[in-house]
Amino acid sequence: MRLIHVSDIHVGATSEAILDAAHQAIKAHPGAALVVSGDLTQRGSRDEFRRARDWVDAVKLPTIVVPGNHDTPLLHPGHRVFKPFDRYRDYFGDLTRPLNAGAARLLPLNTARGWQSRANWAEGSVALDELDEMISEGADSGAVPIMVCHHPFTPFSGAGLTTRTRRGDVASERLARSPVRLLMTGHVHTPHIERIAPGSGEYIALSAGTLSLRLRASPPGFNIVDIDADGLSVAPYTYNHETFEPLPTARLDWTEASDPG
């Protein structure tokens, strides 16, 4: 089963050339579903959301989307505090729901916030009751449960951005003890895969790059993820002037203790 994993499109801070090239590369490697792990827009404007939805729809795959911190209205502080995701829901609410894709059950979790009582409002935050609800739904589905959110629960080794997700350590421990085997995220703007083992249990954390011009340690890119009974293979595709080209594929197997089958 193949998933196309994109993140951090940042419509308003990208180029049509990058988005068109990504469309061409995705259509050349069709998958069972498109996974978009947040930051579809740059400033959370309605025009940016409309253009982002047009891009997602043009992929023509079953799609799951979660919001990122940039998907709140940047220029409207009141809206950002009191109704941060109204615009997002207007354009993507129908795609923010559990989705069956082949043998997998994709589970959305919102880790973005419009405002927080700390200096960096862009950092993630996990609502543990919502996490538990998604874990329970995945466990009851009879499929391989995969969680999708914007922020990694814990910092990645060597990523271009150090994350400080509120309640991330607790969330990571709960996920590791659950049937969920894969966490698909964005935010760091670099492709990364890592096995996370916080005490008992483990899961695989996977981040996609960005389809924007807001670069950190990597050029624009996205992931092609192939999942089988033994584990997953990830091919990061990166933008090289006009086209997306694959980097070497990374492979991680499920361990016997965490075999989703």
Give residue-wise pLDDT tens across range 5-34.
999 999 999 999 999 999 999 999 999 999
Which range of residues forms the domain containing residue 182?
A: 2-258
Give the orientation angle of helix 46-59 with respect to helix 16-28, to 10 degrees.
20
* pTM metric for this prediction: 0.93
166 CB contacts (<8 Å, ≥6 apart)?
A: 116, 123, 124, 125, 126
What length does the chain have?
261
Q: The tokens 């979660």 sit on which residue?
A: 66
Q: Answer yes or no: is pLDDT of 54 > 80.
A: yes
CATH classification of the domain holding 84: 3.60.21.10
Strands (E), 111-228: 144-148, 182-185, 192-196, 203-207, 221-227
- Which phi-psi region, left, alpha or beta, contains residue 123 (left: φ > 0; alpha: ψ -120 to 50)? beta
**Could you give the number of structural domains in the chain?**
1
Give residue-wise pLDDT tens across range 175-214.
999 999 999 999 999 999 999 999 789 999 999 999 999 9
What is the CA 19 to chain-centroid distance, rounded? 17
Give residue-wise pLDDT tens across range 73-105.
865 665 666 578 999 999 999 999 999 999 899
What integer pLDDT is reported at residue 120 of this predicted model?
67
Nearest to 96 by CA among 59, 56, 139, 136: 56
Q: The tokens 């089988």 sit on which residue?
A: 228
- Here the tokens at position 161 are 């951005």
